[in-house]
Amino acid sequence: MKLYNSETRQIEEIVPHSKDVLTLYTCGPTVYHYAHIGNLRSYIMEDVLEKSLRFVGFNVKRAMNITDVGHLSSDGDTGEDKMLLGAEREHKTVLEIAKKFTDAFKTDCERLNLKWPEIVVPATACVDEYIKIIEKLMATGYAYKSGGNVYFDTSKLKEYYRFGNQGKDDLIVGAREGVDEDLEKRNKNDFVLWFTKSKFENHALKWESPWGTGYPGWHIECSGISMKYLGEHLDIHCGGVDNKFPHHTNEIAQSESFLGHKWCGHWFHVEHLNTKSGKMSKSSGEFLTLSRLEEMGYFPMIYKYFCLSSHYRKILVFSTEALDSAKSAYEKIVRRINEIKEDGNISKEQASPYLEQFKAALENDLNTSLALTALYDVLKSELNGATKCYAIGEMDKVLGLDLLTAQVVQEAGNDLNDEFRAFIEQKIEERKTAKASKDYALADKIREELKARGVELVDTKDGTTYKIV
Ligand code: AMP
Ligand code: ZN
């Protein structure tokens, strides 16, 4: 398997450090808000990466963090904690916010058929680990205490920037929104390992430490969790491109200074999903969620197909026109699969060239759009029905597009497919719950949402039914 490595800026063969297992780490979501479809693009491509690695024969061990502390509104370690902002916005506690948005993220993953990594750890669960790392960094002179906080001293490194010059000027005051001057730092790139002093004193989550009561910085959590669960040598580290600097640059700085040797062999970065006006981000207010897309008539599989038809290293621009094309392409595939008659016996031998073609596309820097071509080739082929279904089923182990079970949603009429019928039933249930808790605004919203899709709700004394209009 060959993948582009953002550190060396070359396509390289993946050679795990151990012959028995390949370790994979993913930066998880900051759970102060719903994941937007940009975040989900990264998680879709990381899931396909994991499944492709398994498909080509690696034994993958994957871990992911959930950021529930320490991520401030500016990546330059200033501003407010994002979790506190979320708690204030929703009039809830930080813990309630973390639970609400972790659950919502998990549901999004399920709807997109993304495998939940076997190791998922909230940042707040490993504080002892971070303290252990910071203690060693203090003892070896890589960290210093200033004004109450503990900082990593980047001047101690031979090489700090590891992803090219990316970010070199980013932390200059004024260059990036929200980067205030922190006079306690010795060097502009130094970053906080442990906070005891901040603009806000009412931080809900605080722990005892040798440097005073406080909380960990954002970067240390990924180093700590990764080293605890995946060991001293990490094979592949994933994230969106915005994580290259400062987050991943700082992860490398502290992990390698702590370990005394190279830490991660390969960096896999997913390019952004942009809107026509720029990057989609949680802090920019208006962003699209998976549920919102569904209200607009695009099921999760359509969005997933849209992502898979483009290469992970290319910027993907979201528009309803582009999603409409993905919708018609996906529906065309599903229709053709529905038409296959499962006749004959499975011939693995005859399926093999198509699966090899599929595998070769994935092995070539995860070329998912070329992998989809292999799927089209199966549909066009002379293979018998049983063999076609077998090959499609194998490919779907990686793609996770519900290829053998999906049905095309009919616009209207009585012959609704099961998926759409189940969707309507679910919405009726949600509306019932909303009405029971006197949330009439939500109940009306659900009614309108269904109406927009040609479904009219009819309330009777025995409950709610519907008719297609
Ligand atoms: P966050 O929850 O903000 O920590 O981000 C979760 C993941 O989504 C990280 O890997 C980010 O790099 C990634 N990400 C953020 N914005 C986008 C975007 N517009 N497109 C693709 N990935 C993104
Ligand atoms: Zn991370």
**Residue 446 domain-assigned (yes or no):** yes
Q: Do 383 and 430 fall into the same domain?
A: no
**pLDDT tens track, the chain, 469 positions:** 999 999 999 999 999 999 999 999 999 999 988 999 999 999 999 999 999 999 999 999 999 999 987 777 666 666 677 888 888 888 988 888 899 999 999 999 999 999 999 999 999 999 999 999 999 999 999 999 998 899 999 999 999 999 986 665 555 544 444 455 677 899 999 999 998 876 556 667 889 999 999 999 989 999 999 999 999 999 999 999 999 999 999 999 999 999 999 999 999 999 999 987 777 776 665 689 999 998 888 999 999 999 999 999 999 999 999 999 999 999 999 999 999 987 899 999 999 999 999 999 999 999 999 999 999 999 999 999 999 999 999 999 999 999 998 877 544 444 566 777 888 889 999 999 999 999 998 998 898 888 777 788 888 777 888 877 6
For the stretch 68-95, what's the b/e string if a residue is b when 16 or more beta carbons lie within 10 angstroms of its beta carbon?
Answer: bbbbbbebbbbbbbbbbbbbeeeeeebe
Q: Do 127 and 265 fall into the same domain?
A: yes
**Residue 63 domain-assigned (yes or no):** yes
CB atoms inside a 10 Å sphere around CB 329: 16
Q: Do 102 and 242 fall into the same domain?
A: yes
Return the biggest CA–CA distance within the chain. Answer: 75
**Residue 282 domain-assigned (yes or no):** no
For the CA of 63, the nearest ligand: 2
Which helix or strand (DSSP H or E) is residue 11 part of?
strand 10-13
For the CA of 71, the nearest ligand: 1
| Separation of alpha carbons 395 and 354, rounded Å | 10
Q: Do 15 and 82 fall into the same domain?
A: yes
**Residue 29 domain-assigned (yes or no):** yes
Which of the listed residues 6, 31, 42, 108 should we mutate to test ligand 1's pocket, taking the one with most ligand atoms within 8 A of CB? 42
**Residue 312 domain-assigned (yes or no):** yes
| Protein residues with CB under 6 Å of any ligand 1 atom | 27, 29-30, 38-39, 41-42, 67, 239-240, 242-243, 270, 272-273, 279-282
Q: Quote the pLDDT of residue 460.
A: 74
For the CA of 279, the nearest ligand: 1
**Residue 228 domain-assigned (yes or no):** yes
Q: Do 12 and 135 fall into the same domain?
A: yes
Burial class (CB within 10 angstroms; exposed 0-12, middle 13-18, buried 19+) of 324: middle
State how many domains the chain has.
Answer: 3
Which of the listed residues 242, 245, 276, 304 should we mutate to test ligand 1's pocket, taking the one with most ligand atoms within 8 A of CB? 242
CA of 82 to the centre of ligand 2 (A): 15
Name the residue among 105, 108, 96 with its Cα closest to residue 83: 96
Q: Do 103 and 229 fall into the same domain?
A: yes
Q: Residue 150 sits in a domain of what CATH number?
A: 3.40.50.620
Q: Do 389 and 443 fall into the same domain?
A: no
CA of 26 to the centre of ligand 2 (A): 7
Q: Do 16 and 160 fall into the same domain?
A: yes
pLDDT tens-digit profile of 210-265?
999 999 998 999 999 999 999 999 999 999 999 999 999 999 999 999 999 999 99
Q: Do 51 and 138 fall into the same domain?
A: yes
Q: Give one word for 113, left, alpha or beta, with left for phi > 0 and alpha for psi -120 to 50.
A: left
CA of 155 to the centre of ligand 2 (A): 22
Contact between 258 and 152 under an 8 Å Cβ cutoff? The reply is no
- Among 225, 246, 275, the domain-final residue is 275
Residue of the CA atom closest to atom 8 of ligand 1: 39
| Separation of alpha carbons 319 and 326, rounded Å | 11
Q: Do 78 and 174 fall into the same domain?
A: yes
| Separation of alpha carbons 250 and 432, rounded Å | 49
Name the residue among 70, 120, 66, 128 with its Cα closest to residue 98: 66
Domain range holding 353?
296-399
CA of 14 to the centre of ligand 2 (A): 21
Our measurement of the distance from residue 454's CA atom to the centroid of its chain's CA atoms, rounded to an integer in Å, reads: 33
Half-sphere exposure of 238 (CA within 13 A, CB side): 26
pLDDT tens-digit profile of 112-156?
999 999 999 999 999 999 999 999 999 999 999 998 899 999 999
Q: Do 74 and 111 fall into the same domain?
A: yes
**Residue 449 domain-assigned (yes or no):** yes
| Separation of alpha carbons 454 and 460, rounded Å | 19
For the CA of 247, the nearest ligand: 2
Q: Do 254 and 374 fall into the same domain?
A: no
